[in-house]
Each structure stands twice: as C-alpha cells, then as structure tokens.
Amino acid sequence: MAEAGIQGEGRVARRQRRNRAALIKAAREIMTEKGAEAATMLEIAERADVGAGTIYNYFRSKDELAIAVLEGLMHDLGVSIQAVTDRFEDPAQVYAFGIRTVLDTATGDPRWRQMLHRSEVIADALFRMMGPFAIRDLRQASAAGRFQAEGAELTWRLTCHALIGASLAITEGQLSPAESERIVARLLCMAGLDLASATELAGRPRPPLPGR
Amino acid sequence: MAEAGIQGEGRVARRQRRNRAALIKAAREIMTEKGAEAATMLEIAERADVGAGTIYNYFRSKDELAIAVLEGLMHDLGVSIQAVTDRFEDPAQVYAFGIRTVLDTATGDPRWRQMLHRSEVIADALFRMMGPFAIRDLRQASAAGRFQAEGAELTWRLTCHALIGASLAITEGQLSPAESERIVARLLCMAGLDLASATELAGRPRPPLPGR
DNA sequence: ATCAAAGTTGACGATCATTCATTTTTAGAA
DNA sequence: TTCTAAAAATGAATGATCGTCAACTTTGAT
C-alpha cells in the first residue's frame, strides 16, 4: 500500500486524474455533438484513449457519466455568472440575471442544446450545482424585502424544472425565443414578486457574459 | 376496395380498433408495473395477443406508444377533475384544484409514479392534454380579476414542467409530500396571485376525487 | 528482483427495438 | 362459390448497445 510520493500524489493517482478528465472531456464533446443518447460508450472510450471497460472504473453507468458532464457545463456557467453578478447591488437582480442567463445559454449554446432531453437529469443537476448561489440570492433578496421566498429551496427547485422545460420548448420551436423575457418574469413571480415588478426586473438591460 | 359496411365500419377497421386499444391497454399495464423503460415491446405484444411486428403498424416507435399511454392516463384524470370542478364557482379555485389534483395523482397513483421519469415527455403530454381546460380556467380567472395571466399558454407550460418536476422529487424522497400545499401556492403565484392569496387558495379544503 | 494488489483491457453475453420476407386475411369481382 | 390483389399480421432475424469478466499489465513496497 503506497503512502503517496514526494508531491502527495503517486503515478497512479495522476493517471487516474488524467483518465477521469479525459473521459469527461471526450464525453462532453461527443454528447454535445450527437446528443447524450447517441453517444456510445465505445466511442467515448476511444476518444479518451482508454479501454472500453475502463470507463466503468470511473463511472458506474452511462448516466453517471452524463451527469458528470452536465455538472461540468454548469460549473463553467456558474463561474461566468458569478464574474458578472459580483458587482451587482440588488440581489433580486443577481437572481434575475442568473435565470435569464441559464435560459439563454441552454437555448443558445450547442453544448447545452443537445443535452436538453432527459430534462429531469438536467434540472436536478441545475438544482444541485447552481442551488447554493441561487438560494443565497433568493434569501438575500427576501431579506431586502424584494422577494417573498421563505421556502427558497422549493422555489428554486420548481424554477429549475420550469426553466429547463422552457428551454426545451424553445429549442424545439414550440416556444419563440422572444418569450424569454416573459418566462423570466413569470419565474420571478414564483419568487414572490408581483407581475409588474417582475416584468420590470426581467426587462432591465443586462451586461454581456464574459468569455466564449 | 371496400366502401364500409352497414355500420360505416368494416371488419378490418373494427379489428384495428381492437388491436390499438389492446396495445395501449397492455402497454399501460406493463409500463405502470415495471416502468416505461423496462417494458419490452415483445411483452406488450404478447399481452395484447398480437405479433411483435404488428405494433409497428399502429405506432412508429416505443416512444410513440408510451405517449399514447400517457395521453390515456391524462384523459382519465381530466375527466375526473371536470366532474368535480363542474360546480365550482371561482375559476381560480378550479385551476388550483386541478394542479393540486395532478400533483397528488402523479405522486400517489402507481400508474403515474412509474412513468415520472422521462419528465419532458410527461410534461408535454400534460401540456397538450389538459391545456385546453387549464388555459380556459386561467383566462376566466384572469377576466374575473383573480389572476394576472395574459400569456396563459406560457404560464401553463411552465406550470406543467414545474409540476412534474416536483412530483418526481416527491416520489424520489427529495421533497416531502407535506410540501404539496406550498408547491401549489408557488405555482399560483406564477399565475399572477400574490403569495398571501395564493397560500390561502392552496389551503382551502378540497372535495375528494370521484372514482377509483 | 519479487510479489500481491490495483488498474486496465477488449472480446463477449445478454438484451431489445426495429425490420422485412413470408403468410394470412379481407372484400369485392367474376 | 371461387378467385384475386391489396392490406394486415407475423415472428424470426438483424444490428446495435450496455455492461461484465477473466486475463493481462503496471505499480511500488519489500
């Protein structure tokens, strides 16, 4: 039993990190090219330059790998949003910006669009990954008297599902992208804003997202 | 080329109706026993007493068959709800009763529970099947000054996804069934009610559903 | 150098949705 | 009644995939 090397990490641990990262990267690429369903484990393994069976040393199932991919996408988006909203004053506006950005990204970024089927998995990942930020914002805006969201966790969960559902409807052409502002307004209503304030808040100009 | 019989329907058409109905019935039974994924086309065909290939004369794919099953479940529920709300005065209460009943049924009835995965498919079926009623209620309640729901269709779509997402969370133990009242209240907020009125409306006693 | 444990591999088994060549049924014409 | 061509039904075969597993390789401590 090795007790780590000079750097606190042996060759094995290093290789395992490489493999795990390569697998998630390959899976992200292929899944966002062809959709999560159409991506095969064999193709992912090949692109990650790893044996087909090796995937199962890292992920119990294809679904678990897909979840890891989603968590990566959401982490990236969360970082971008943080970078912008850091300097906002109004926590209500932080929240509004967040959900609008998720909506725009989910419908605009091809890396998201292809994953929108399996909404329940995505909505759950969204709930878990962005939850800490969203719930904090909901509470702060509530404390500031802007929202009425005692059960912030519940509100956030409902919002996640509605948001992903709306994104899917837009990518499938059942809903016009022009509705985005109204979608956000309705979701703000759910956080305890009256329709007029919600519409105003959803309509405010937004700074652009940084990066890609 | 036969031009129909005495009753306006030939033997073929009659058999086709029997087959289609038998297939949906068999699929409903098996899918609600084992879940839609675990149900195999062969087992469905056998229970419907039909050749395996015959299913594809009636449904283009397994998914299309699953959708037909869902539509059946929703039609039944819609009828039950209609029977109760027929005599309600307040359209807002009709709407509230409807969404609460969908929530309770989705989480309580085993025939629904097993289908809750594939939320996007269910939410879409819910949107289409119960939409005419729900949207009518939203508009009437809006006209009566109870709601503020100009974009009734959008509100209803968001509500469908949130409702199914919440149902799934409850069946998976991520959310307590005791939250149901708060879920309904939040969804009423989305229809343009303030939190206090929404909470009151969601908390009103409800008559029981008839039938099974 | 040796060795046992940990990690990797890819061929393989099992499963299942879907297809399609063949058979059966149908309904009207002869 | 008998015949016939089209429609419908059939179920064995297909092809594709996930996940398993017994054999193999790598690792790092002794």
Kindly determine whether residue B160 and residue A158, on different chains, have CB atoms separated by under 8 Å.
Answer: no
pLDDT of residue B3: 38
What distance, in Å, lies between the first and last C-alpha atoms of chain A?
44
Kindly determine whether residue A186 and residue B118, on different chains, have CB atoms separated by under 8 Å.
Answer: no
Structure tokens at A78: 């969360």
Superfamily of domain B67-203 in the CATH hierarchy: Tetracycline Repressor, domain 2 (1.10.357.10)
Q: For chain A, how big is the Rg over CA atoms in Å? A: 20
Question: B37, B9, B136, B161: which is closest to A174 by C-alpha?
Answer: B161
Instruction: Determine the Cα–Cα distance for residues A73 and A115; give it in Å rounded to an integer.
Output: 10
Assess whether A40 (CB) lies less than 7 A from strand C: no
E strands, chain B, where?
A: none
Nearest Cβ partner of A189 from B117, B123, B189?
A: B189
Assess whether A6 (CB) lies less than 7 A from strand D: no
Assess whether B50 (CB) lies less than 7 A from strand D: yes
Instruction: Determine the Cα–Cα distance for residues A28 and A31; give it in Å rounded to an integer.
Output: 5
Which residue in B has a C-alpha nearest to residue A178's C-alpha?
B154
Fold of B1-59: Arc Repressor Mutant, subunit A (1.10.10)
Contact of A121 with chain B, judged by CB distance below 8 Å, is answered with no
Q: With beta carbons less than 8 A apart as the criterion, state whether A114 and A35 touch.
A: yes
Question: B152, B162, B161: which is closest to B132 by C-alpha?
Answer: B152
Fold of A63-203: Tetracycline Repressor; domain 2 (1.10.357)
Q: With beta carbons less than 8 A apart as the criterion, state whether A45 and A51 touch.
A: yes
Domain ranges of chain A: 1-59, 63-203
Contact of B151 with chain A, judged by CB distance below 8 Å, is answered with yes
Q: How far is CA A6 from CA A1, A2, A11, A18, B31, in A?
A: 15, 12, 11, 19, 56
Q: What is the pLDDT of residues B119-156, one digit of tens each?
A: 999 999 999 999 999 999 999 999 999 999 999 999 99
Ordered per-residue pLDDT tens for chain A, 212 residues: 333 333 556 777 788 899 999 999 999 999 999 999 999 999 999 999 999 999 999 999 999 999 999 999 999 999 999 999 999 999 999 999 999 999 999 999 999 999 999 999 999 999 999 999 999 999 999 999 999 999 999 999 999 999 999 999 999 999 999 999 999 999 999 999 999 999 999 999 999 998 65
Contact of A160 with chain B, judged by CB distance below 8 Å, is answered with yes
Name the packing angle between helices A195-203 and A91-108 (round to 10°).
Answer: 60
Residues in chain B, overall count: 212
Contact of A118 with chain B, judged by CB distance below 8 Å, is answered with yes
Residues in chain A, overall count: 212
Q: Which helix or strand (DSSP H or E) is residue B64 part of?
A: helix B62-85
Which residue in B has a C-alpha nearest to residue A157's C-alpha?
B166
Instruction: Determine the Cα–Cα distance for residues A139 and A130; give it in Å rounded to an integer.
Output: 14
Q: Which residues contact B122 (CB under 8 A, 6 or more apart)?
A: B70, B115, B116, B164
* Residue B81 scores a pLDDT above 60: yes
Cα dihedral A189, A194, A195, A196 in deg (nearest 10): -140
| Residue B89: count of CB within 10 angstroms of its CB | 8
- Mean pLDDT for chain B overall: 94
Instruction: Determine the Cα–Cα distance for residues B183 and B166; give it in Å rounded to an integer.
Output: 8
Dihedral (CA of A70, A76, A78, A81) sign: negative
Please report residues of B whose CB lies closer than 8 A to that of A179.
151, 154
Instruction: Determine the Cα–Cα distance for residues B174 and A205; give it in Å rounded to an integer.
Output: 36
E strands, chain A, where?
A: none
pLDDT band at B4 (very low <50, low <70, confident <90, very high): very low
pLDDT of residue A10: 73
Assess whether A176 (CB) lies less than 7 A from strand C: no
